[in-house]
Structure 1
Amino acid sequence: MTVGHHGRMRIAVRAHGAVAVLSVEGLLDSDTYRPLRDSIVKSALDEPAAVIVDVSALRIPELSACTVFTSAWWQVSQWPDVPILLVCSNIVRRERLWQAGIGHRTPIHPDVDTAADAVGTQARTRVRRRANVELLRHPASLDEAKDFVTECLREWSHPELITAAKLVAVELVRNALTHTDSTPSLRVESSGCLVTIAVDDECTRPALLREAALARRVSGLEIVAGLSRAWGSAPSTTGKTVWATIEPETDLQY
């Protein structure tokens, strides 16, 4: 179990079988909103079967602050696509959360065991292939990234996505080498017809698209955005993860 203190909020994270459980105590307000959201997202990036957030001991003076759970869900809904469930042991508070519209994206359960059971067959039967490689802080890592992606997708029978996946991997690695002082790591995943390319670095500054300007070179992230179904930048335990998902119709043919 790991425990973090964020002002007037305490977040304890533990494993419960295949799911991650965050037990949250204290006060949810404008100061603790972002630490809670980021903690949920960070737990999801480890790709458990689900993230369960126990809010039984969390004080929520303004129910509007509960949008933190929807916000976290939106950040992980495309990738890593890990379900987020809430637990509240008090039936009155649970009803208040439902009435406030919380529960559509993040179902609410009375206890952790019930929430874990609700993850059910979907999590147990989900097939996801994953491979990782640590890269050097060197331009040669761009070629290594292309070779690694090619090898993975050939092995996983996704040859139609190799062209786009290589371009995305190169731009994400180049972005990490150019804009951070980190030694990046590359992750390749396959789930059904979708392939995800993700690069971890040690910089907490999110990756953002610059505003378009005339007479300038297209940026690497613009290439990533154009090739991918979706892309994003999420906080991780060591910095951030920049990811992009690719599907067959997004591939370029040369």
Structure 2
Amino acid sequence: MTARPRILVREAARDGISVLIVDGVLDSSTYLALRDRIVKAALDGPPAVVVNVSALRTPTASAYAVFSSARWQVSRWPDVPVLLVCGHATGRDALRRQGITRYVPVYGSLDAALAALDGIDGRLRQRRCAELAPGREGVKHARELITEWLWDWGYASKIKIANAIATELVDNVRAHTDSGVAELRVESRGSEVTIAVSDRSARLATRIESAYGTFRLSGLHLVAALADAWGCTPSSSGKTVWATIA
């Protein structure tokens, strides 16, 4: 019996940048695992994620779309740049032919990729995280933490809206998942504040449209009304629902 192809990902760090070194076969059975691994690295909030694919074997070139898919998942938040490194011209040419480099740049070496990052947005990203119980106590705890953190960071004017968003996101974990815990993440970058809540359910958060073309009123409608942008990012352990206040 032939063993299923596997993707092996080793993570390292270079100057604070997350570096993923990938080995194995990229095909339909490993596509999602690699995408989710890249997304997870980005959600951890490094300045950038560099993926070294020099040893990656890809029987079907279209599978390279995994890299543009991963970048799309994190393009609005946390908006972490994703770069590729491929040490051989054959792989770089294949990535270009598939159109991947329009969204995810590719370089011939890690040093070249890191040098290209010198021009990225250097605005300070502040971040705090906490684990919450997904019930009313969790909501209360989240509001207390958000008030404290945003006050300390100088975003007092955003506390009321941030607390309203967090209330809905944390309460949705209790109402719509079996996840025993939720993780609250609060970030500030420039003039933006982002509230994110992660849980261990793979069920994506969506606004439900009725058969008559109108939306049912739900917490996510309030989130969408209060936030400048919101979304739901799947991961290998569940999902993260986030909302940004600009």
Q: Give the TM-score, by structure 2 length.
A: 0.88
- Does structure 1 conserve the Cα–Cα contact (< 8 Å) formed by 2:86 and 2:107? yes
Aligned-pair RMSD on alpha carbons?
2.3
Q: Which runs of 5+ in 2 are unaligned?
A: none
Shift of 1:103: 1.3
1:65-102 per-residue CA deviation (whole Å, 9 max, x = no partner) reads 22211111111111111100001111232123223322
| Counterpart in the other structure of 1:250 | none
- Following TM superposition, the consecutive aligned residue runs of length 4 or more in structure 1 with deviations greater than 4 angstroms are 213-217
Residue 168 (structure 2) pairs with residue 171 (structure 1)? yes
Other-structure match for 1:136: 133
2:25 is equivalent to residue 37 of structure 1: no
Q: Which moved more, 1:159-168 or 1:214-223?
A: 214-223
Q: Which amino acid aligns with 1:140?
A: E
Contact 1:45–1:236 (Cα < 8 Å) also in 2: no
Give yes or no for the alignment of 1:59 onto 2:49.
no
Q: How high is the sequence identity, in percent, across the aligned residues?
A: 46
Q: Deviations over 1:143-165 (max 9, x none)?
A: 22223222222222223322221
User: How far does residue 25 in structure 1 lie from its aligned partner after superposition?
Assistant: 1.9
Aligned partner of 1:251 in structure 2 is none
- What is the match of residue 185 of structure 1? 183
Q: Shift in Å at residue 137 of structure 1? A: 4.2
Helix, strand or coil: the match of 1:210? coil
Report how many aligned residue pairs link the two structures. 242
Distance 1:26 1:136, change over 3 A: closer
CA distance in 2, matches of 1:96, 1:9: 19
Distance 1:70 1:137 in 2: 33
Query: Hey, what's the Cα distance between the residues in 1 that align with 2:95 and 2:119?
Result: 26
Q: Is 2:46 the counterpart of 1:48? A: yes
Say whether 1:158 aligns with 2:183: no
Q: TM-score, normalised by structure 1?
A: 0.85
Q: Give the Cα separation in 2 of the matches to 1:6 and 1:243.
A: 35
Q: Is 1:145 the equivalent of 2:139?
A: no
Structure-1 residue corresponding to 2:95: 97
Residue type matched to 1:202 in 2?
R
- Structure 2 residue 198 is matched with structure 1 residue 206: no
The answer as to whether partners of 2:193 and 2:244 remain within 8 angstroms in 1 is yes
- Of 223-232 and 168-177, the range deviating more from structure 2: 223-232
Whether the aligned pair in 2 keeps the contact of 1:94 and 1:108 (CA below 8 Å) is yes
Secondary structure of 1:149's counterpart equals helix
Paired amino acid for 2:131: E
8 Å CA contact retained: 2:19, 2:50: yes
